[in-house]
Every structure is written in C-alpha cells, then in structure tokens.
Amino acid sequence: MSGNGEVQESLRSKGIEPGDSVEVTSADGRIVRGILMPHHEFSGEDIVTIKLESGYNVGVHPRSSKDIELVSKNDKSSMQIGMNKIATSSVDSGKADKNLPRLSIVSTGGTIASYVDYRTGAVKPVVSADELARSVPELFQFCSPKTEVLYSVLSENMRPENWKNLAEKVAEHLNSGSAGCIIPHGTDTMGFTAAALSFSLSNLTGPVVLVGSQRSSDRPSSDSKMNLMSAARLAIDSDLAEVVVLMHSTTDDTSCSVHRGTRVRKCHSSRRDAFESVNEPPIGFVQDGKIFLECAHDKRKTGRVQADVKFDDEVALIQFYPGLTPSKFRKSVDGSRGVVVSGTGLGHTHQEIIPIIADLTNDGIPVCITTQCIWGSTNLNVYSTGRDMLTAGAIPLGDTLSETAYVKLSWVLGHTSDMKKIREMMLTNMRREMEERRSL
C-alpha cells in the first residue's frame, strides 16, 4: 500500500489503539498477531509495530489499510512480556504526584532511548524523554519525573561541547529542587561523559546517574527498564552525591552496579554487564529497588550545585604501539595543547619517543602517562625507560584510567596553561580518580 497516512487513518476509524491485540496481513501475505505498539514518528506512516508473544517487536507493512483487524481491546494495565513489563496505557507525566520527590531525567539518547527503525532494521534514538518516562510507569509510584531531552544522539557522536551543556543542565535541574538526576545515555562514550561531569560538577546536592542499556527495549532481553528503575531509586533514595554510571552487574537481572564516574569503563562491546569499575570495586549495588552502598562516597551537600564547564578540546589521547615512530607520534599530537599517552606496562614508550616528550614539555604542552593495560598503575621509577621519561617531563598519573585522564587533562587545560599548575592539578586526586599511594 502507498502509505500517506491511510494505515493510521484506518486504525483511528476502527478504534484500534496502542495496546490492543491485532491481526495484520502484511504486504507479502504473512499474518502477524500481537499487541499494537505506539506509532513512532520515525517509523513511517505505512508501518505498524507489533509486539509478538515472544516479546520481540516487528515492523509490519500491511497489505492494505483493510488488512488490520482488532482482535481484542487492551485492558489498560501494564502487561508482562518476557523479562520486562511494557506500559501499554498512556501514563501522563502531567498526572505525576507533586508531593513525591522530584526526579530529573535529562536524556541524551542512546540505546536506552532508542527504537528499531523497521525500514532499515537499525536502532535509532527516540526524541522524547517523556516517552522514556512513560515506558516505565512504575516510576510514578515513588517520584515525580521531570523530563527533558537535551540531545537525541548515539553516544559515539558526543563531543566535549556536549559535556558542557549537559553539566550546566544537570546543575540547573538539581538547583531547581530535584532530588537527583538521571541521564539516559548511549553506552559507547558513557564513561567519558561520566568523567566529564565528575570534574565539572561540584557541591552536588544529589546523585547524578548516567544510565544506559545494551539491548534496545524492543528486545525481550532488554536491560533498559531495570536499569532505569534502579537509577531512579538511587537518585531519589540514596545519600550519594557523586556522578556515577548505573548498569547491570551480571548478565542476568540480579542487580545493578553503581560505578564511580571517574573509574568506570565499558569493557565488553555487547554484554549487559559490560561496565566495570577499574582499580576499585563498584561503590555499591541496587537490587530489587534497595540500595547497598558499600564503599566510601561523597554525601549530599546543601547549597547550590556548581557547573564549571571550561574544557580545552585540543587534547590528544594516544595509545603507544611498536610501530608508533617519532614521526607518526609528532603528527598525532600536532596542534594539541595537551597529550595523554597510554603507554605499555608501567607506562612506557619506545626510547625514541622520549625526546619528543621533552620537546612538548618545553613548549608548554603537558604529556601525561597512563597504562594501556587498563588495570594497575603507572610507575616510571622502576625501569630506565621510565626514569628517562620522567626526566623528559612526563607526568605519570598512577592508576587513573586513560579515558578519565584524557577528560581530566581537557578540564585542567580549560583552567590554566601554567605548566607547574597543570602538573599540580593532574597529580591531585580531585574526584577519587586516582589512588594517591598505590603499592606495586
């Protein structure tokens, strides 16, 4: 059929609404039975989305506008499908109980706020944070959500510029009385954004919880609902006042882990428990709506949250490898005002790189050193290579993650270009990003 709104018109005329059971005959003759899902503006007028009994969503192109039959009306309650409850009734956040603590949801996009484009089969971001809140109606039982879509991007497209707006927006929300803030975010660069918010926000009055999902919500194995619910619980009920990432602890739905924003890394490309706290345990866990914070953490402050969003975007993050010649290294750092080298082992580079570290340092361009091992600490005092690097001016960052070091250096260079001050700030444990004394 030709589209042009005929399908939507046919649904309206038949009184068929999202949540109703329907039977659709597709253009290629298949008969598909299931629950009609809300129409998404990106899906195209001629496609209907049907949730099958298996829990999977499929997009169906009906043979004609007549080929959609109502099987039964929805009972307006939420229904259990697979592991996830799917809201089929329309929950209006305008109906939220204003006496409940306010939860800010500042959405940036990502899988957690995505749908499947049934034309191409690709996953695309949603545009409304309200849609997201409504997809988890249980939220309204313990908080009053205030939703805002700041971005609707896949997180690989986040730039340092986006960190700034996001930090300011989070401060605004907390300062306007929200008990906490959750940030639905793509998982790809969630660790980078978490570090950026960690350094730029201070005097936090509540938790700032980045939350994502590794499976889009149309899949029965989706982790999005449990992660969102757990993030909301943490934001409302805990005494925590740090920037954290909340994601599944395991591949099943046992619990979610609370990872410090400066210590967290995506360590698997697809598993639901992809995120890990590196060089420290997670701060705690959320299980069945209960919060267990087992490690030292910053508590809620009074007063106003500050957002200091001065970042210098001209920072390079370079992994050293055997073929990284001096010439390649020089090109890679050309134009940068700061460099993080994730070295091998304790933080080493080839000896031929060391004179360039000296040159950069002399030119006022700090060269910070992390380890590409991921786990463990730098130590440039053990081998002659390391000692030469120190002499050249390299700044070893202990057990700071490479990605966090890159964000931190960007933030520090937003505040000073004085080498002594840069070194001092980089070696200061600002947001629990490094252990001050770490024995080998």
Interface residue with a copy of itself among 174, 274, 283, 369 (CB under 8 A) is 274
Q: Cα separations (Å) of 354 from 112, 344, 350, 358, 400?
A: 44, 14, 7, 6, 21
Q: How far is the CB of 326 from a copy of itself (least distance, A)?
A: 12
Q: Does 395 bind a copy of itself (CB under 8 A)?
A: no
Residues 142-181 that bind a copy of itself (CB under 8 A): 154-160, 163
Answer yes or no: are the C-beta atoms of 395 and 434 closer than 8 Å: no
Interface residue with a copy of itself among 13, 99, 269, 302 (CB under 8 A) is 269
387 vs 421, which CB is nearer to a copy of itself? 387
Task: Give Cβ neighbours of residue 248 (< 8 Å, ≥ 6 apart).
Answer: 214, 223, 226, 227, 255, 256, 257, 272, 273
Residues 60-79 that bind a copy of itself (CB under 8 A): none
Q: Does 119 bind a copy of itself (CB under 8 A)?
A: no
Interface residue with a copy of itself among 80, 120, 141, 302 (CB under 8 A) is 120
Q: How far is the CB of 286 from a copy of itself (least distance, A)?
A: 23
DSSP class per residue in 92-146: -GGGS-TTSPEEEEEE--SGGGEEE-TTT--EEE-S-HHHHHHT-GGGGGT-EEE
Interface residue with a copy of itself among 383, 417, 427, 430 (CB under 8 A) is 383
Q: Does 387 bind a copy of itself (CB under 8 A)?
A: yes
DSSP class per residue in 42-110: TS-TT-EEEE-TTS-EEEE-BSSTT-EEEEE---SS-EEETTEEE--S---GGGS-TTSPEEEEEE--S
- Catalytic positions, written as ranges: 111, 187-188, 266
Q: Does 361 bind a copy of itself (CB under 8 A)?
A: no
Interface residue with a copy of itself among 28, 95, 122, 437 (CB under 8 A) is 122
Interface residue with a copy of itself among 343, 366, 393, 414 (CB under 8 A) is 343
Interface residue with a copy of itself among 118, 151, 285, 406 (CB under 8 A) is 406
Q: Does 363 bind a copy of itself (CB under 8 A)?
A: no
Binding mask 188-207 for a copy of itself (x = CB under 8 A): xx--x---------------
Q: Does 336 bind a copy of itself (CB under 8 A)?
A: yes
DSSP class per residue in 194-252: HHHHHHHEES-SS-EEEE--SS-TTSTT--HHHHHHHHHHHHHH--B-SEEEEEESSSS
Interface residue with a copy of itself among 322, 420, 436, 437 (CB under 8 A) is 322
Q: Does 436 bind a copy of itself (CB under 8 A)?
A: no
What single-letter DSSP state applies at residue 265?
E
Give the tokens for residue 51.
Answer: 């949730």
Angle formed by the axes of helices 419-426 and 402-413, to 10°?
Answer: 140
Burial status of residue 318 (CB atoms within 10 A of its CB: 0-12, 13-18, 19 or more):
buried
Residue 42 β-bridge partners: none
57 vs 147, which CB is nearer to a copy of itself? 57
93 vs 221, which CB is nearer to a copy of itself? 221
What single-letter DSSP state applies at residue 315?
E
- The size of the interface with a copy of itself (CB under 8 A), counted in residues, is 74
301 vs 328, which CB is nearer to a copy of itself? 328
